[in-house]
């Protein structure tokens, strides 16, 4: 049983590495054919994409190494020290020990991405102190949230043989709750939000929202430039908790017309109900994954030298769920890319196609976003179509 699982995990990692190699090779082959940018900007974007992909390859290899650490005795260690008493606290401590080890092993890669690659390409503006503060706050919030989730799931598993079905219902509720709480938590602990002071921009956006029937709790500017120079904006929350947040970098680089067109695109997602569709699709994929884990053969546990227990079940989910989610990612990606095409059409209608195209070009240049992708990479990972495909769908020549 363990041999079969190892083969599956090996194929999963091998496929990820193969996709990365093919994507790097594809970018390298396109470096001399610039589009949307000057030749120098295009080359920088290519180098940035390759650097990020190499980090992703190292991350995949670390995940492979950790897999062998856990199945080769790590899970048995957690059982001896945490799970044998069969208590909630034991299960929670086992889950936290598993996650802490993974974080410690992969944290240097995140630091290198931020202070190495992102700094080299002019993105990172965060100080070491701010990075440490953000990391610690994230860990504290995460620990509290994990304890609550583990407590409920532990009770469910202990009380029902259909635990996976009831856990699915609970986790789907957590996903909805996170969508509601995300803007509040982000504003409290990370972003400093302030009202939009540009009256022209504010008036244009309010008219835009009124035309599409979008009721926002507020329009805000985030001081994102303290951490990063990339341009972005987001709609967050559900129901009455909806917020519209523009990065200060976006306001600095885009014209009012371009910002209106970008938010017109985002309003397309609102008008088409994409948030709710994505939650439903995520729920469907989560249902499949939990159904698999709810019917794991008992031999799998014994092959790793551990007994069937609530703590072991939760950690196995954390260890192996990436494989199943990776296999299901193309479904999510295909649906998401279709949503983006439809939102582009709506944004073109609402804010003007010429302004949306101009804004997308600026976003590509400022974010060093390489405008091409290998088809296999696009199939597995892309939630947004390559910008050249978006222009083609709008009938625009790059």
Place of tokens 């620990």: 143
Listed as own residue / partner, the contacts of 81-85 with beta carbons closer than 8 Å and 24 or more positions apart are 82/311, 83/306, 83/307, 83/309, 83/310, 83/311, 83/312
Structure tokens at 377: 């990479």
pLDDT given for residue 236 in this prediction? 67
State how far the Cα of 195 lies from the Cα of 202, in Å rounded to an integer: 9
pLDDT beyond 90 at 188: no
* Residues 97, 108 contacting (CB under 8 angstroms): no
- Rounded to whole angstroms, what are the CA distances from 299 to 5, 67, 116, 138, 308? 11, 18, 44, 37, 9
CB atoms under 10 Å from CB of 152, counted, come to: 16
Residue 288: partners with Cβ closer than 8 Å, 6 or more residues away: 324, 328
pLDDT tens, 214-272?
776 778 888 888 888 888 877 766 666 577 888 888 888 899 999 999 988 988 888 88
Q: Which position has the higher pLDDT, 157 or 395?
A: 157
Average pLDDT, the chain: 89
Greatest Cα-to-Cα distance within the chain, rounded to the nearest angstrom: 66
pLDDT given for residue 25 in this prediction? 96
- Rounded to whole angstroms, what are the CA distances from 10 to 1, 23, 217, 320? 14, 20, 47, 12
Q: What is the pTM of this model?
A: 0.87
Question: Which residues pair with residue 234 across a beta bridge?
Answer: 245
State how far the Cα of 349 lies from the Cα of 192, in Å rounded to an integer: 32
CATH 3.30.2010.10 fits 193-268, yes or no: yes
Which residue ranges does the chain devote to CATH 3.30.2010.10?
A: 193-268
State how far the Cα of 201 lies from the Cα of 180, in Å rounded to an integer: 26
What is the phi-psi region of residue 305: left when phi exceeds 0, alpha when psi lies from -120 to 50, beta otherwise? left
State how far the Cα of 289 lies from the Cα of 300, in Å rounded to an integer: 16
């Amino acid at each position: 049983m363990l041999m079969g699982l190892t083969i599956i995990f090996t194929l999963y990692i091998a496929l990820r590495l193969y996709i990365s190699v093919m994507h790097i090779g594809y970018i390298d082959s396109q470096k001399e054919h610039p589009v949307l940018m000057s030749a120098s900007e295009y080359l920088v974007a290519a180098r940035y994409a390759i650097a990020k992909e190499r980090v992703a390859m190292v991350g995949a290899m670390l995940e492979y190494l950790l897999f062998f650490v856990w199945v080769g005795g790590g899970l048995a260690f957690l059982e001896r020290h945490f799970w044998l008493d069969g208590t909630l606290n034991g299960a929670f401590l086992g889950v936290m020990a598993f996650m802490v080890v993974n974080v410690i092993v992969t944290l240097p890669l995140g630091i290198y991405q931020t202070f190495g690659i992102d700094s080299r390409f002019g993105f990172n503006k965060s100080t070491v102190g701010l990075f440490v503060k953000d990391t610690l706050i994230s860990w504290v919030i995460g620990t509290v949230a994990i304890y609550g989730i583990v407590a409920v799931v532990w009770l469910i598993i202990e009380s029902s043989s259909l635990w996976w079905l009831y856990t699915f219902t609970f986790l789907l509720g957590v996903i909805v709750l996170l969508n509601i709480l995300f803007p509040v938590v982000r504003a409290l602990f990370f972003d400093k939000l302030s009202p939009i002071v540009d009256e022209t921009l504010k008036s244009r956006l309010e008219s835009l929202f009124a035309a599409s029937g979008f009721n926002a709790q507020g329009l805000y500017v985030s001081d994102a430039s303290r951490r990063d120079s990339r341009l972005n904006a987001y709609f967050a929350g559900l129901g009455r908790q909806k917020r519209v947040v523009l990065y200060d970098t976006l306001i600095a680089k885009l014209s009012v017309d371009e910002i209106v067109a970008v938010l017109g695109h985002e309003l397309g997602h609102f008008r088409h109900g994409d948030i709710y569709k994505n939650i439903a699709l995520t729920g469907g994929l989560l249902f499949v994954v939990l159904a698999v884990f709810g019917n794991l053969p008992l031999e799998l546990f014994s092959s790793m030298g551990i007994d069937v227990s609530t703590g072991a079940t939760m950690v196995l989910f954390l260890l192996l769920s990436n494989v199943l989610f990776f296999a299901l990612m193309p479904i999510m990606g295909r649906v998401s890319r279709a949503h983006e095409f439809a939102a582009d059409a709506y944004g073109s209608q609402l804010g003007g196609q010429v302004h949306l195209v101009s804004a997308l070009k600026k976003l590509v240049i400022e974010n060093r976003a390489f405008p091409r992708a290998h088809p296999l990479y696009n199939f597995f990972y892309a939630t947004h179509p390559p910008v050249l495909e978006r222009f083609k769908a709008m009938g625009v020549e790059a």
